[in-house]
Amino acid sequence: MATAPTSAGSMLELIRSGRASTRRELQALTGLSRSTVAQRLDLLLGAGWLRESGVDSSSGGRPPTRLEFSEDHAVVLAASLDTTRARAAVLDLAGRPLAEHTGDLAVADGPEPVLDALAGRFGRLLERAGRDPGEVCGIGVAVPGPVEFGTGRVIRPPIMPGWDGYPVPEHLRKSFDVPVLVDNDANMMALGEQVAGYRDCPAFVLVKVSTGIGAGVVTAGSVYRGIDGGAGDIGHIRLHDRADALCQCGSYGCLAAVASGGALAKALTGLGVPTDSGSGVREHLMAGLPEAVRLAREAGQRVGEVLTTVVCLLNPGVLMVSGDLAETHFVTGVREVLYQRALPRATRNLQVVTGRLGERAGLQGVGHLVVEHLYAPAQADARLAEGAAS
């Protein structure tokens, strides 16, 4: 959708990005007259999207009034689904949590029970935050499977039975009639971490290692999804020497079948150490169990083999490991192989780090995604026009 470079939405973008904070600066940047700028700003102020906050410094005459984006005029509902748990929150437009809840919710139960439960949690969280459903401007959901972003539909997910092609946005809009954006959890974790701590990094890669293995890529501030949401699905790259390893996707030899938290849990159980998940593996690692330490380091080395190609292809500035196996010997194994096998030029400016936001990364990612979508110039202008018409 095209938008005029001097529209109200474009002015909002100038203010949100910090390039302008006064009427005078908006005039200088847009070339518009004082009255036209005032007219555009009246739309934004009337919608509650902008507020006037004090005065700016002045070189003479009356000090100009400072303009800023109103981060509390609406809220976003955000959710991050894992295989057996869900984290949900009410966020303001800066991504700050106003109410939050984490609890059991198994994606294997199917889309309708899970999404109905999620809608119920959203309603209770709004009550706890003291916000009205009418204040919700959008919903963001991260799921542990590939997503066709344009439609919000999960496509052939290996660990989400019954979700293939299900209309997630349409289902949630039965409870909240607002835009709903759905994306892969690794993508949203990558976006959340990049925005929170590495905004200046033009090429950022996050690898999530939990029950499965996935990756999210952020380039120039935007998530790279590929043509239909399949980018980053490194967990199903085939290893040439492990044709015996059966993956949840039904194939043999996948990286996730050998080196994920779920694979390590299965291996530990086979060694007489009952373990039911990646989080269980993490507990054994924190306790210093020798078998767990050995397996985690070997798994990190196998993932490092695949990441060598990723690093040489994308040349990222930051490679972040997140999920159940971050902050463990797994990362040691990744570093060992990566720096040994990747081209020195590809790693000379590379930081290999672990996640900062933990389980909140996905929530931060979907919250940021929704706000950037709704207040982008074209979308903002369309919403203003719709509001004026109604």
- Tens of pLDDT along the chain (390 residues) come to 455 678 999 999 999 999 999 999 999 999 999 999 999 999 999 999 999 986 655 555 567 789 999 999 999 999 999 988 999 999 999 999 999 999 999 999 999 999 999 999 999 999 999 999 999 999 999 999 999 999 999 998 988 999 999 999 999 999 999 999 999 999 999 999 999 999 999 999 999 998 899 999 999 999 999 998 999 999 999 999 999 999 988 899 999 999 999 999 999 999 999 999 888 999 999 999 999 999 999 999 999 999 999 999 999 999 999 999 998 899 999 999 999 999 999 999 999 999 999 989 999 999 999 999 999 999 999 999 988 665
Structural domains of the chain, ranges and CATH numbers in brackets: 8-69 (1.10.10.10), 75-188+362-389 (3.30.420.40), 197-359 (3.30.420.40)
Please say whether the beta carbons of 346 and 315 come within 8 A: yes
Closest-CA residue to 30 (of 306, 325, 307, 377)? 377
Contacts of 350 (CB under 8 A, 6+ apart): 311, 316, 317, 318, 319
Taking the C-alpha atoms of residue 75 and residue 134, their distance in angstroms, rounded to an integer, is 9
pLDDT for position 390: 57
Its pTM stands at 0.93
pLDDT for position 61: 57
pLDDT for position 55: 66
Please say whether the beta carbons of 275 and 281 come within 8 A: yes
